[in-house]
Structure 1
Amino acid sequence: MFELVFSRRFSMAHRLIAGAAEPCAIPHGHNEVVTVRLRAAVPMPLDGHANMVEPFERAKSRWHGWIDGCVDHALQLSAADPLLGWFRAQEPHRLSRILVTPGDPTTEMLAALFMAKLNAFLAADGGRLACVHLAIEETPTNTVTFAGDPLGVLPVRDGWWRRPDSSINDLGGAA
């Protein structure tokens, strides 16, 4: 079975406040690479004419636009992070650049949220493709991969990750 595989690099900052990775409690950044594998929802043989599952440009343009325009250089915070209150009070114009996660914005959490978001984009585009595997390289030596149903592992099923729009949070009009 054919799979379309493509990658995108982005820069981010985050902090983890739950205590599992104490050095990460101070805001810091990473340059990350997200790689996705898409598969046809209904596999079909090549047609003897165009001979492709889906044109790469169609399959990746919306996803790459979201990564480049919304995720790149966003600050990733837990919905429970007190920094959200600070931004609401001091810099509300920056709320749209904060990617909010249920719990700490770990690479595992991002892998599930990103896959759910990509599948929302693909479903809205006719559902011809589905993301079956997603990998995020956090550093050159640390990568998290996910395959399966992201909604089955997320602690919260509904949120910005279910909508095929450019949102990265649900802060009420900020995204």
Structure 2
Amino acid sequence: MPQVRFTRRFSMAHRLLADGASRCAVPHGHNEFVTVTLATDREMEFGHSNYVASFESLKKRWHGFIDGAVDHAFQVGSKDPLLDWFKAHEPHRLGQVMVFDGDPTTEAFAIALRRKIEAILTAEGSAYRCIELALEETPTNTIVVGETLSAAERAWMAGSWMDRPDLSINDLTL
């Protein structure tokens, strides 16, 4: 059965505080690409639609999430003092702040996106499943998350924004 793959570009910003000597401790941004590969076990309807699901139906909610919530979001750890600053001074921007337990590394972000697309596909009752998600931070750095997540990858922030099939990128307004 053919696999389906699609890519979306977005801009983001983050900072990493665990290594205070790192250049990444200063807020900075990236233009990133996320590529998802979907697979299904369902047979195509040959001689009729010749697909299991249209590209449009497979991409609509995912691209809506990337374009509407992820693009131009600022990623921070839940203990980053900038999060408190946003709460106190610009609470209207909290919907644009993506919050992680720990540093918002590309690895963590890729796992979060992998769990989000799984939530979206499940909520839609899709015949497809995500077998790979690749997150390109720079032309030389890409993180790839496969079909099977480890117990630790599933347990981290379990039940949070990344497990809901909506546009949420934090749990601040729950």
* TM-score computed with the length of structure 2 as normaliser: 0.93
Distance 1:71 1:83 in 2: 18
Greater mean deviation of Cα atoms: 100-109 or 29-38: 100-109
Alignment match, 2:168: 167
Distance 2:147 2:39 in 1: 13
Report the secondary structure of 1:164's partner residue: coil
Question: Does 2:30 align with 1:30?
Answer: yes
Q: CA deviation at 1:31?
A: 0.2
Letter of the 1:120 partner, please give it: A
User: Deviations 1:132-174 (Å, cap 9, x if unpaired)?
Assistant: 100011001111111033463432222001111110000025x
User: Deviations 1:92-118 (Å, cap 9, x if unpaired)?
Assistant: 111010011121111111111101101
Distance 2:11 2:64 in 1: 14
> Given that residues 2 and 53 in structure 1 are in contact (C-alpha distance below 8 angstroms), is that contact kept between their aligned partners in structure 2?
no
Alignment match, 1:157: 158
Alignment match, 2:17: 17
User: Deviations 1:68-87 (Å, cap 9, x if unpaired)?
Assistant: 01100000011121111111
Report the secondary structure of 2:7's partner residue: strand
User: Deviations 1:2-55 (Å, cap 9, x if unpaired)?
Assistant: 210000000000000111871100000000000000111x33255332111310
Alignment match, 1:47: 46
Greater mean deviation of Cα atoms: 164-173 or 143-152: 143-152
Where does the alignment leave 5 or more consecutive residues of structure 2 unmatched? none
Greater mean deviation of Cα atoms: 48-57 or 60-69: 48-57
Query: What are the within-5 Å matches in structure 2 for residues 1-175 of structure 1?
Result: 1-19=1-19, 22-40=22-40, 42-150=41-149, 152-154=151-153, 155-173=156-174
Distance 1:151 1:20 in 2: 29
* TM-score computed with the length of structure 1 as normaliser: 0.92
Report the secondary structure of 2:9's partner residue: strand
Q: CA-atom RMSD, angstroms?
A: 1.6
Letter of the 2:37 partner, please give it: R
> Given that residues 113 and 150 in structure 1 are in contact (C-alpha distance below 8 angstroms), is that contact kept between their aligned partners in structure 2?
no
User: What is the total number of aligned residue pairs between the two structures?
Assistant: 172
Q: Percent identity at matched positions?
A: 51
> Given that residues 116 and 151 in structure 1 are in contact (C-alpha distance below 8 angstroms), is that contact kept between their aligned partners in structure 2?
no
Letter of the 1:100 partner, please give it: V
